[in-house]
Amino acid sequence: MITILAIESSCDETSASVCRDGLILSNVIATQKIHEQYGGVVPELASRAHMQHIVPVVDVAIKNAGCTLEEIDAIAFTQAPGLIGALLVGGQFAKSLSLALNKPLIAVHHMQAHVVANLIESPKPSFPFLCLTVSGGHTQIVLCESPLQMKVIGETIDDAAGEAFDKSAKMLGLPYPGGPLIDKYAKEGNPNRFNFSEPQIPGLNFSFSGLKTSILYFINNAGASNVYKESQVVSTEEKKQFIDSNLSDICASIQSRIVSILLNKLKKASRETGIKEICIAGGVSANSGLRNALTDMGIKEGWNTYIPKFEYCTDNAAMIAITGYYKFLAKDFSPVTVGSTARAEW
């Protein structure tokens, strides 16, 4: 029996999970609400909140799993990428526990773990599979050959998909994180009402900065399609009125374009590689428009599609635990001197 305790602290969720022989026994997530009032994650506040949450979160994860610290065989933690102060809190905690319990330490790459989240529950994709990993900081198409063997075959050259959602929401005056709110309003809107053009980026890479600019001009001009000016040409009151009376249609149109950018590249990747086992991962995979469109495209393209359940899509320690489990089997341990890094290739 192999029992792994995992800790995730790369951004604004403090999370701990226990996994036994590849089965998740607990997954506790403390979300930091403090950032909402600032319109984005404030790194220093995130580190402080992780320090407050980490002991109780780990404690509850162990209790919920019905096990004791003595039963833990290894401690896995998110080593990279993420906010450095936030990563350091989870990293130092994991290292201290590893030394105190005299158990091995397993460093996990956060983006790899998002992909491996697809292996938590059945039915599981068979190898090789493609995974569209879409979060607040990343947008990647990953070709996965085994739980620990994967390579990025396409990625964003500027903003991530989650940033495209959050920045669009901010322009509409919605609070952070705006992605789930755009999703909510989009459900009642007409996705064909406003047209934002799809960028022509070669290969399997993505770009969202052009979309962001066109949304900014669109909002600043209260939807006048023939005016392309960065500066606001209508009064603040007119702009607000335009947003208020068209919010659902604007959200649906923005969401539909982000989703089509993502899925057209995924379709290209599938056709080029011949792989029809298709997964999505990361916070944006919670988006209902993306989930529905993936299912529809999967039927047309003859794919088997896999979407982790919601709590395994956004940041969580269960995905770190399951990756830690595969690393344990491969005896891929790390020394306590291993450093946390904000950016890391994999």
Contacts to Zn ion by CB under 5 A: 135, 315
Residue nearest to ligand KG4 (CB): 283
Q: Nearer to Zn ion by C-beta: 72 or 258?
A: 258
Instruction: Tell which one of 27, 135, 305, 334 touches ligand KG4 (CB under 6 A).
Output: 135
Q: How far is CA 51 from the centre of its chain?
A: 22
> Of 97-105, 122-130, 147-155, 177-185, which part binds ligand KG4 (CB under 6 A)?
177-185
Residues 270-289 that bind ligand KG4 (CB under 6 A): 282-284, 286-287
Residues 1-20 that bind ligand KG4 (CB under 6 A): 11
Q: Nearer to Zn ion by C-beta: 179 or 191?
A: 179
Q: How many residues bind ligand KG4 (CB under 6 A)?
A: 18
Hey, is 268 helix, strand or coil? Answer: helix
Q: Nearer to ligand KG4 by C-beta: 160 or 219?
A: 160
> Of 148-156, 179-187, 301-309, 337-345, which part binds ligand KG4 (CB under 6 A)?
179-187
Q: What angle do CA 64, 20, 135 make, to 5 degrees?
A: 80
Six token digits for residue 219: 């909002």
Residue where the block lists tokens 């404030």: 42
Q: Nearer to Zn ion by C-beta: 159 or 315?
A: 315
Cα-flanking dihedrals φ and ψ of residue 113, to 5°? Answer: -65, -35
Q: At closest approach, how far in Å is the CB of 285 from ligand KG4?
A: 8
Describe the crossing of helices 236-273 and 288-301 by its angle, rounded to 10 degrees.
Answer: 30
Q: At closest approach, how far in Å is the CB of 66 from ligand KG4?
A: 27
Q: By CB under 6 A, is residue 177 in contact with ligand KG4?
A: yes
- HSE-CB at 14 with a 13 A cutoff on CA atoms is 28
Exposure string of 45-79, with b = 16+ CB inside 10 Å and e = fewer, is bbbbbbbebbeebbeebbeebebeeeebbbbbbbb
Contacts of 48 (CB under 8 A, 6+ apart): none
Instruction: Tell which one of 104, 162, 189, 324 touches ligand KG4 (CB under 6 A).
Output: 162
Q: At closest approach, how far in Å is the CB of 258 from ligand KG4?
A: 8
